[in-house]
Structure 1
């Protein structure tokens, strides 16, 4: 069974947010909006947004939602000290995921591992061959991914890995490398794949056996060209709304969702539309967009 979810990032709640420009919704507001729009679940968002390991299950139950997953980035290409500190953070996050899974085992979340990226990658969203890790650095990177995945399984949870813009797993070539050198399955993100130069339909069919989580998002790739050469290209890409409502960008929504359904995939399909809220009107637009995104999917998921 495929269940639909939404995410705090669709309402401007993530690390690039600008609370100095417009107040962000709190956890209660956000969960209510997600439930009202008709989604079955929600991603975790920043730690504490929906509570801690003791309060999160009750909070979600009151809103009729399950926890679909949640972003956990680690500096897989960073220093040993930084990585070990991040593994401690992962342990604390896994306690929250475990509490959600215990409360709702049939709709258990997928802890969503990802790379933290680097300044070099953030300067070139979309990636480039010269930005790839060399063999020695990649060997260390893959070994650390395997450690994080094993740690997640030791907590009784199944991990997934999110390829993502401005990280060391961004392009189709880097995704292939990850799948070849680790046993962790993939969060297939249509929007980030478009940014990284992929083609969602054939890439999904090629990787289907390794896909255990899906982020469905549309993207306007022309934003990449307009952001190139700016002072902060990664922020500029998000600020110019590279991620748009389903059907408004370069994603062939009907064909990819047909393929997902026909493939027999079961699990969470998380609708995301990362936005940086810059005024009060943007808050209302985010709410409208997420309702429209859910309605866009009624053909497949009533």
Structure 2
């Protein structure tokens, strides 16, 4: 998209099952689809193992040789570059011995900082600008956060942010509707415990809406802290605190929760969508937002179809010209 905003597209929706996004031909097809839809940058998502071979810098290097060679591959598919890498330090991965870590636990902080470094180094080498990180684990996995927990979480992200800044990469903490940082008050506490010079916020329009937070109002009040955006829609809010259900990643987001909701996240312009997408994009423009706006559908259906629907909406409803 050729615009005063910087548009990118998330590849995570293609990787919806272990065996479907593995070969270079699969990656090429996805990248060419994104390019045909008018997007010139993509966001990668962290994973684990050789089957998730765009999910780790080490695995990308095994398959392509180096970040520069991978960037050549991306450009051969008519995509100019990598905008960002989405990463959850609390996700156990094979490459780190399946260690379970929590940003709440100061004893895990040194390992979390080390775990961030391959992603930061990859982004710096590949020309990417943002490490987008989940700040804390899911709410159902522990007690509510107290001041000591917020202090610990802020401390580790300030450390990661310092490492990222030294490499010329930004750090954005991604709001997650299942996270222990859940309410508006929680989110503002997280921002208060982090250094604005080192740590920004990745605002996800659908995740905020699911949790009952208006993304337009939030952005207008906190534009100075928002350094990354995920733009998608939803038809539902979590009115029953289903985010606290055990294993909510499966029981709520994939199992539908108590209301048997088939899917929580939708493409832009979906009928019945609750996100004021035009209002939100207008707010970005009004503030001169300089970061990436990453469009995603987050495992919502056929990825190529959803990419085309999202592209159509941007062009025909928001008048964003194709590149």
Q: When the two structures are superposed, what TM-score results if normalisation uses the length of structure 2?
A: 0.76
1:32: which partner in 2? Answer: 32
2:118 corresponds to which residue? 92
Correspondence 1:170 to 2:190: no
TM-aligned CA deviation for residue 88 of structure 1: 1.8
Q: CA deviation at 1:301?
A: 2.1
Unmatched 5+ residue regions in structure 1? 102-107, 124-129, 277-281
Once the 2 structures are TM-superposed, how far is the Cα of residue 236 of structure 1 from its aligned partner? 3.8
Match of 1:279 in 2: none
Decide whether aligned partners of structure 1 residues 181 and 230 sit closer, same or farther in structure 2, where only a CA change above 3 A counts.
closer
In 2, the alpha carbon distance for the partners of 1:83 and 1:27 equals 34
Equivalent residues, number: 275
Asked if 1:49 is matched to 2:73, the reply is: no
RMSD over equivalenced CA pairs, Å: 2.6
Q: Does 1:3 align with 2:6?
A: yes
Structure 2: segments with no counterpart, 5+ residues: 48-52, 62-66, 91-101, 255-261
TM-fit CA distance, 1:269: 0.6
In 2, Cα distance between equivalents of 1:226 and 1:187: 23
**Cα deviation per residue 1:74-128 (whole Å; 9 max; x = unaligned)?**
2453444544333222111111101112xxxxxx42111222504xx247xxxxx
1 CA distance for matches of 2:230 and 2:243?
Answer: 25
Map of 2:266 onto structure 1? 244
2:73 to 46, 50, 59: 59
- What is the CA-CA distance between 1:178 and the residue it aligns to? 1.6
Please point out which of 139, 155, 165 is paired with 2:167.
155
Counterparts in 2 of 1:46 and 1:224: CA distance versus 1, 3 Å: farther
Once the two structures are overlaid, the 10-residue window that deviates more, 214-223 or 73-82, is 73-82
Work out the CA distance in 2 between the residues paired with 1:291 and 1:255. Answer: 22
Structure 1 counterpart of 2:296 = 272
Deviations 1:47-92 (A, max 9, x none): 6418332422212222223211111222453444544333222111
Secondary structure of the 1:5 match is strand
Q: Which has the higher relative contact order, 1 or 2, with Cα contacts under 8 A spaced 6 or more apart?
A: 1
Q: Is the 8 A contact 2:178 2:248 kept in 1?
A: no
C-alpha spacing 1:224/1:293, structure 2 compared with 1 (3 Å): farther
The CA distance in 2 between the partners of 1:265 and 1:49, in whole Å, is: 29
SS at match of 1:166: coil
Tell me, yes or no, if structure 1 residue 253 matches structure 2 residue 270.
no
Is the CA contact (8 Å cut-off) linking 1:214 and 1:268 kept in structure 2? yes
Could you tell me how far 1:179 is from its partner in structure 2? 1.6
Q: Are the counterparts in 1 of residues 113 and 156 from structure 2 also a CA contact under 8 Å? A: no
Partner of 2:287 in structure 1? 263
Other structure's SS at 2:122 match: helix
Tell me if 1:114 matches 2:134: yes
What is the TM-score with the length of structure 1 in the denominator? 0.81
SS at match of 2:293: strand
Deviation at 1:134, TM superposition (A): 0.8
Indicate the SS of the match to 1:273. coil
1:246, CA displacement in angstroms?
Answer: 1.1
In 2, Cα distance between equivalents of 1:245 and 1:122: 28
Flag the 1:191–1:87 CA change in 2: closer, same or farther, 3 A: same
